[in-house]
Structure 1
Amino acid sequence: MIDQILEFSTNHWDMVAIFVLILATVVFVEMRGNAKGISPASLTNLMNNKDAVVVDLRTAKEFRTGHITGAINIPADKLKDKNAELEKHKSTPIILVCKTGMTAGTNAKELIKAGFEVYKLQGGIAEWENSSLPLVKA
């Protein structure tokens, strides 16, 4: 198998170089100024021990279908406008939650620049549900 990989790499060095470049770019972008991803268990720990604030970035309709207890609903497209609302929570960790974890990572950068301690729930609310953790329906 290793022989085949080496043969492929030798014969298609240009494709391998492009793959390595793309991989390096993705790693660089993900590590640069992004929120640390945490598990549902770590989220619960931060909420219980450090009074972390959960900010649910989904739409109001999605939020009503089920959200983490105590979560604040600020849709992702309105997060920049609501920074002032979050100022009172600047001394506590902010945990961003979205549907799958992708939107939270993108939106975290603005809060990090503003001086917040920001985390994102890996896998989003879908991972929370997969872990059989409770949701509040409103």
Structure 2
Amino acid sequence: MARSYEELLEEIEARVPHLEPGDLPGLEADGALIVDVRRPEEYTEGHILGAVNLPRDKLEAQIEEHLERPHQPVVVYCGGRGRSTLAGWALEEMGVNVRVLHGGLAAWKALQEKT
């Protein structure tokens, strides 16, 4: 029997490194590329300052254009979890030094409201 979408996400989440929203500033200081994998209209409505918009359907084809050096850390996020988890898996398969922002933009915004 085929796996459900939820089962697939859980399996990938167990394999792909994640990053907590509070750890993002440290990785940014190390020169990480922050990538928003949502659609352009979602990005326009709000995003993490400094993030590049590479929608999920263009990510693999365009990521290399944005990397400044080999093994540069890359953090991907979406609104919550689904697209960024799949994006992280795809980039990891390409050999990119990637982490998925746990909880996505929603978790990052919640943290900003607390601080």
> What TM-score, normalized by structure 2, do the two folds share?
0.80
- Report the equivalent of 1:108: 88
Q: Which has the higher contact order (CA 8 A, sep 6+)?
A: 2
More helix by share: 1
**CA-atom RMSD, angstroms?**
2.1
Please list, as runs of the form range in 1=range in 2, the aligned pairs for 1:23-42 lying within 5 A after superposition: 28-32=11-15, 34=16, 36-42=17-23
How many residues are paired up?
Answer: 107
Q: CA deviation at 1:105?
A: 1.0
Deviations 1:40-68 (A, max 9, x none): 111111102x1111000011111111111
Contact 1:90 1:115 in 2 (8 A): no
Contact 2:85 2:100 in 1 (8 A): yes
- Report the equivalent of 1:56: 36
Structure 1's unaligned 5+ residue stretches are 1-21, 134-138
Contact 1:100 1:124 in 2 (8 A): yes
AA aligned to 2:71 is S
Distance 1:90-1:98 versus aligned 2 partners, 3 A rule? farther
What is the CA–CA distance in structure 2 between the aligned matches of 1:78 and 1:97, rounded to whole Å?
A: 14
Q: CA deviation at 1:102?
A: 2.0
Identity of aligned pairs, percent?
A: 29
Distance 1:117-1:83 versus aligned 2 partners, 3 A rule? same
Deviating above 4 A after TM superposition, structure 1's stretches of 4 or more consecutive aligned residues are: 25-29
Contact 2:12 2:89 in 1 (8 A): no
Which structure has the larger Rg over C-alpha atoms? 1
Distance 1:41-1:80 versus aligned 2 partners, 3 A rule? same
